[in-house]
Structure 1
Amino acid sequence: MSTKPKSPNPHRDTHALIELTKSSQILLSHFQSSLTPVPASFSAVPSHSSISASTSVPNPLDVVKTTTTLLKSHTTTLSLLLLTPPLTPSALSKKIGDVSSGVLSGMVAAVSGAPQPGQQDGLGEVMRAELRAQVRRVLGAWGDVLAHLLKFVERREGVEGKGKGKDEGVTESERQNILASTGVVWEACDALLKLCQDGVVGLVVKKAESWRATLMDAVEELKEWGENVEDEEEDGDKAEGSDGGRGEFGDEDGIFGAANKLSKGDKELKELLDVSVKKLKMVGMLYQALSKRRLKTFPAVPTSKVETNGEGTVALLDPMAKLDKLMGILKSIPECADELASSFYNLDEEEARQTLDTCCGEAKIAIELVKQSWSGKDDEFTTWSEKWVGALEVS
């Protein structure tokens, strides 16, 4: 007894596509929730650890590159299927299933993991956080594709239900939406692929340069503020309420600006400002040196330095943990500089002095952390760092 294959049922296939798309959206929401960013701890680096240099976590960058490339390909095919009539729900369903159960699940799993006790971390907190952020962006872009697909297919289901017959394809508005959302997926994927290509070194160098730029912007603003000195006689005139005929309130700058301007009598605060600008410029120089001598020379395959003692083999400072700690400090210094600027604007000399000490203290911790090379040896930077600390303290 032979069994005849089921004849195609467009309405049934369209309904199945709609249900699959909705379930895929739910799954996508779970994926995004699992990658919700958490503050990086940048915890203090221990003097020794039980991590063995011989164990390592499989680098997820290869998985991310593979799945990202596949997603670009699948998205392109999906768009072509949508834009080319007649609508083929079964082909669309297969493509969505491939993306949800294969590509995206693999991508999310690759960036969700963290090194377990006894495993070497090949990514670090900085790269792991950036990967998760960019994968979330990819997921959001793919979600827009699904939303436009669902809207179009639901409209087509209505057409089929009314028995209008001929499939005239997407409207111009739908076409533009599909093309635009496909382009966003491509853009997000390209950014993720570049992140994987640049690796840990490329990312930390880029972030350090960005933080240095922020720091130097704060220095320039402080310098300009210090040059705008309020004349005491002019200040006195404004205090008496002279408005020069400009009305009851006079010049707004005179009312709201005088309180946070340096006066010629604030000699100690002006001296502290000059010292602060000089020291922060030196810290900016440190960023450049760290980028060239330490960040760009970070090993492609970082391994812990080990030694043997009476209790067995223990791993010393883990380079990746040290790098994470360093990046946490480099990120905090521009924030500290902003607080320093606020102290000056408030004419609070004591707070400004304490905040400057904090900024310089963080910089000295950073340079001490990587005073030696990643292999634990003295080099040119070691000698330079000692001179830099000495110059910072006397400036």
Structure 2
Amino acid sequence: MSTKSKSTDMRGLISLTKTTQTLLAHFQSSLSPSQTSSTPSVALIPGSSSVPEPNPLEIVKVATTLLKSHTTTLSLLLLTPPLTPSAIVKKIGDVSSEVLSNLVAAASGTAIQGQKDQLGDLMRVELRIQARRLIGTWGEVLALVLRFAEKREKATGKDEGPTESERQDVLAATGVVWEACDSLLKVCQDGVVGLVVKKAEQWRSVLMDAVEELKEWGEDVADEDDEDKAEGSDEEDGGFGDEDDIFGAANKLGKGDKDLKTLLDDSVKRLKKVSMLYQALIKRRLKTFPQSPVSADATNGESTEALADPIQTLDQLMVLLKGIPETVDDLASAFYDLDEEEAKDTLDKCCREAKSAVDLVKKSWTGTDDVFTTWSGKWTAALEAA
């Protein structure tokens, strides 16, 4: 191949790379949190028939697996001299026109026309986040392609291949893409059930941390004798105590705050019961969520409104489970401000949210009574009696 032909090929690679970078920016924008799906997106697995794949997670899984493979090949092309523009151009074209377009369509799209959404809001958000991150990592590989191509375009001698520093850059960028691919593949493998269980466990952990902090704060009741001693020490040091005395005294319970202390103890008891609810919901509702639509046989032919759209019910449940720890944060703030009325109102709100979660899924996903149905009645009574 003549030098002129090589130069033309290299310029073509540079042009394609820059165009693809613009395309990646568009893909990432379409996956941003501010974007919402409008019309349903139909994505096809490369090489499949015209029939839409019903499960978007399968499309994401196939696209991600292909991207990992293409990235591996591309990294080898960058590391092996001489740089071959035609091979790299083909590889970039395969990734942008097939793999990434299908990945973005599946991650950002709504349910296919005429079918119910199988993923729900939580999974849709997770797919957008993971896919956006993956595209960002692949953009770093693309940036290396541009750097290598521009370097070879200016070079006049024999292509000696990448320097050791450049080799390390390629390996590092490839490794980051692999990691992002594996993370997205794990989401697809775990499915909706795996994701909601993981999120609920995280939110329960946040809730328990808040409860423990409240409990410790309530046990730190200022002792009157210690206060007297602190006043004496203030005189000795010119009227300045330590930092905790100066900035912490305003939001510490005193021995005279008996009503607030009683409310705090009641709050801790109730919140521990709410934590128990998370455990029960994870075991009896989230882990048993049907991976496929509930059939009429499963309900003995009975139809219920609750089963009209299980994924919508799941979405509503997850919103409540996410919101409860946030309400507990507000409760803690009320206590730290020594605002008894606000603390009462916020505690009531937290309990209402927990009971709403129970009521939402009191019956099983098949619309029947089960162990959780019976347990939830006892739990509600215990919460109200606490």
What TM-score results when the alignment is normalised by the length of structure 2?
0.90
| Alpha carbons 1:57, 1:119 under 8 Å: kept | no
1:189 aligns with 2:181: yes
Task: Provide the rounded CA distance (Å) in 2 between the counterparts of 1:150 and 1:203.
Answer: 37
How far is the alpha carbon of 1:268 from its aligned partner? 0.5
1:155-198 deviation per Cα after TM superposition (whole angstroms, max 9, x unaligned) = 12111xxx2x2111111221111111100100000011111011
Describe the superposition over 1:123-176 as per-residue Cα deviations: whole angstroms up to 9, x where unpaired: 1111111111100011010011111221122112111xxx2x211111122111
Matches within 5 A, 1:334-353: 334-353=325-344
Which of 59, 69, 73 lines up with 1:73 in the alignment? 69
1:45-194 to structure 2, matched below 5 A, reads 58-115=54-111, 118-159=114-155, 163=156, 165-194=157-186
Could you tell me how far 1:357 is from its partner in structure 2?
A: 0.4
Tell me the residue number matched to 2:44: none
Question: 1:266 Cα shift?
Answer: 0.7
Change (3 A) 1:392 1:314: closer
**1:220 aligns with one of 202, 206, 212:** 212
Q: Is the 8 A contact 2:307 2:365 kept in 1?
A: no
Contact 1:304 1:318 in 2 (8 A): no
8 A Cα contact 2:137 2:180, kept in partner: yes
Question: Of 259, 268, 284, which aligns to 1:293?
Answer: 284
**C-alpha spacing 1:324/1:39, structure 2 compared with 1 (3 Å):** farther
Deviations 1:304-359 (A, max 9, x none): 87999xxxx99964100000000000000011111111111111111011100011
- The structure where helix makes up a greater share of residues is 2
Q: What is the alpha-carbon distance in structure 2 between the residues aligned to residue 82 and residue 180 of structure 1? A: 13
C-alpha distance 315-341 of structure 1, shift in aligned 2 (>3 A)? closer
Asked whether the 8 Å contact 2:307–2:366 carries over to 1, the reply is no
CA-to-partner distance for each residue in 1:104-141, whole Å, 9 max, x for gaps?
00111111211267531111111111111100011010
Paired amino acid for 1:330: L
Is the counterpart of residue 391 in structure 1 residue 346 in structure 2?
no
Q: Distance in 1 between matches of 2:80 and 2:182?
A: 25
Counterpart Cα distance in 2 of 1:207 and 1:265: 40
Letter in 2 for 1:139: I
Q: What do the CA deviations read for 1:11-53 (whole angstroms, capped 9, x no partner)?
A: 111111011000000000000000111499xxxxxxxxxxxxx
What's the CA shift string for 1:261-320, capped at 9, x where partnerless?
111111110110001011111000000000000000000113487999xxxx99964100
Cα contact 1:272–1:353 (8 A) shared by 2: yes
**For 1:142 and 1:186, how far apart are their aligned partners in 2?**
10
Q: Distance in 1 between matches of 2:371 and 2:114?
A: 33
Which residue type is aligned with residue 191 of structure 1? S
User: Structure 2 counterpart of 1:326, which letter?
Assistant: L
Preserved contact between residue 57 and residue 122 of structure 1 (Cα < 8 Å): no
CA positional deviation for 1:59 = 1.2
Distance 1:15 1:388, change over 3 A: same
Over the aligned positions, Cα root-mean-square deviation in angstroms equals 2.5
Equivalent residue runs for 1:317-336 within 5 Å? 317-336=308-327
Q: Displaced runs of 4+ in structure 1, greater than 6 A?
A: 5-8, 304-308
Matched position secondary structure for 2:217: helix
Contact 2:306–2:313 (Cα < 8 Å) also in 1:
no
Q: Which residue identity lines up with residue 121 of structure 2 in the other structure?
A: E
Specify the code of the residue in structure 2 equivalent to 1:81.
L
- 1:262 paired residue number: 253
Tell me the SS of whatever aligns to 1:222. helix
Alignment partners' CA distance in 2, 1:167 and 1:265:
82
Q: Aligned pair count?
A: 368
Aligned to 1:52: none
Matches within 5 A, 1:311-322: 317-322=308-313
> Cα gap change, 1:314/1:57 in structure 2, threshold over 3 Å: closer, same or farther?
farther
Pairing 1:275–2:270 present: no
What is the CA distance between 1:241 and its match in structure 2? 8.1
Give the deviation of 1:252 after TM superposition.
1.4
Aligned counterpart, 1:25: 21
Highest relative contact order (Cα 8 Å, sep 6+), 1 or 2?
Answer: 1
Report the counterpart of residue 293 of structure 2 in structure 1.
Answer: 302
Structure 1 pair 116–77 and aligned structure 2 pair: CA distance change class (3 A):
closer
Deviation for aligned residue 1:243: 1.2
The aligned amino acid for 1:353 is K
Aligned twin of 1:356: 347
Structure 2 counterpart of 1:320, one-letter code: I
Looking at structure 2, the residues matched to 316 and 189 of structure 1 have their Cα atoms a distance apart, in angstroms, of 34
